[in-house]
Structures are given as structure tokens and as C-alpha cells.
Amino acid sequence: MSPNQNKLQLFEVPQIESIQDMLLRSAKVYANKIALEDLTKYPISSVTYSELLEYIMKFGSSLQKLGIKPRDHIAVVGENRVQWAIAFLTAMMFDFVVVPVDKNLTHSDILNIIHESDSIALVFSGSMADLIKAKKNVFGKIKFYIGMDLEKKEDDFYSMIEMIKNEPTVQTEPPKINVDEVAEIIYTSGSLGRAKGVMLSQKNIAANLMDMRKMVTIYPEDRFIGVLPIHHTYPIEKNFFPFSKCFD
């Protein structure tokens, strides 16, 4: 048997360098197709590609108006849902550094990661609200608390829905990014106990996404279901895998 007979066939795909580029291409090519959809009813439970980009641009503009600047860190904690993806992808689009946090960790680990991540904003789901409110005093660096399930702002807690809904500005040009700079910090303990931050760039994530895309042909009618926790690298890329349809 020749070596070529054992070689895996790879599909040709255009190269991208960033998740920002992926989002812009997807919204242009598949504007009215469903991009993400929840099985559970949440405030935002389904979006097309064009809606997803619109929500990202509005949420990002609203975060900028709060005073969040490029390279600032934003932590996100909650269950798998469309709003989690919007928060994550907004950070990628607007050159923030996103810190996904595993909601299933112990409360002390969640608090430590958020505290040590240098995040100045925290986006959280309703399932985490009681913990966040009870331990707010330990987050010395967090300036902005943003609830996914709040209908409107309550005291110091902003409503993600309200921020998107009331934002009149939809930027036509996203901020410039450096694809080699840190875009995401994932805390992983591996086999050595305490969680440590692993830094990834948009170029890292995009390269991995493109490599996976080379393994299988994706058709416009295909649907994907994500069951793994979305906070870690592999499920993030698998759950966002449909975006690569824009390269067919």
C-alpha cells in the first residue's frame, strides 16, 4: 500500500486570520439563515447571521459608551446560549480580551478566576446572579456587571437586553485588530490543580477552525447541535463551526 493511500483527503478552504473576518463574511453570505438557536427560551434565543452581527455591533457600541476600551478584559459566565455567544463574539469583534468562565466550577474557583483575570466587566446569566450579587465586594477590578436575563438596569447591574435594544449606533466598520495579540484567556487546570490562564489570539482560533473545516464538507441545509460546555476552546470552535459555511 502506497503512503498516499493512507493520506486523509482535505477540502480546500480560503484562509482567514480572525474571528472578526469570519463574522463579517458570514453575515454577508448567509444573512437570513439561522446562525444560532437555543432549545431553551431565553431573552434572545434565536438569531440569523445578519441579526447576530447587528446585536454584536450594538452590544459592542454600548460597551464602548460605558468606557470599555480595546484590550480591556471581559469575563463571561453562564450556560450554553445565544447570549453567551453574542458576548464572546462581541469581544472578538471589538478587540476586547474575553475570559470565558466555567459555571460548573466551585464558587470559590469562579470567584478566583474572575478576580485574577483583570476583567473590568462581567457578563453573567441569571443562574449566576445570586452568587455575583452576594460576592460583589470581592471583585475589586470589576466596574460593570451585565446580566443576560435582566429586563432593565437594576442598581449597579446593567441589562444586556436593554443595552442592545436601546443602542441606536450600529457601526459600519469594526475596530481594527491585531490578530496576533491576545484575544482570549482560558483558565484550565489540566492535571496540576489550580487553574492557570492560557492565552489565545484570534489567529490561533481561526487557524484551528479552518483546519477542522478542511475535514468535512458543510452544506447550507446542515444543522449542528452543541452539547459540550461552550466556555472552553474545543466546544467554542465546534459550536461556531457553522460560521465556516461562508467559505463554501
C-alpha–C-alpha distance, residues 101 and 225, integer Å: 21
pLDDT in tens, 213-222: 788 777 777 7
164 pLDDT higher than 90: yes
pLDDT on residue 189: 67
E-state strands within 105-208? 119-124, 144-147, 157-159, 182-188, 196-201
Let me know if 204 is exposed, middle or buried by CB neighbors in 10 A (0-12, 13-18, 19+). Answer: middle
pLDDT on residue 70: 96
Total residue count of the chain as it appears in this document: 248
In a domain, 219, yes or no: yes
In a domain, 3, yes or no: no
Q: pTM of the entire structure?
A: 0.89
Amino acid at 79: E
171 pLDDT higher than 80: no
In a domain, 2, yes or no: no
pLDDT on residue 192: 60
**Domain range spanning residue 215?**
13-247
In a domain, 46, yes or no: yes
Total of domains in the chain: 1
Q: Which of 227, 164, 206, 208 is nearest to 16 (CA)?
A: 206
234 pLDDT higher than 80: no
In a domain, 7, yes or no: no
C-alpha–C-alpha distance, residues 83 and 44, integer Å: 6
pLDDT in tens, 94-127: 999 999 999 999 999 999 999 999 999 999 999 9
Least confident of 100-104, 147-151, 205-209: 205-209
pLDDT on residue 245: 42
C-alpha–C-alpha distance, residues 134 and 129, integer Å: 8
Looking at residue 105, which CATH number applies to its domain?
3.40.50.980
In a domain, 4, yes or no: no
End-to-end CA distance of the chain: give it in Å, rounded.
33
Q: Are strands 157-159 and 182-188 parallel, antiparallel or unpaired?
A: unpaired
Average pLDDT, the chain: 87
Amino acid at 140: G
In a domain, 37, yes or no: yes
Which helix (H) or strand (E) covers residue 114, if one does?
helix 107-116
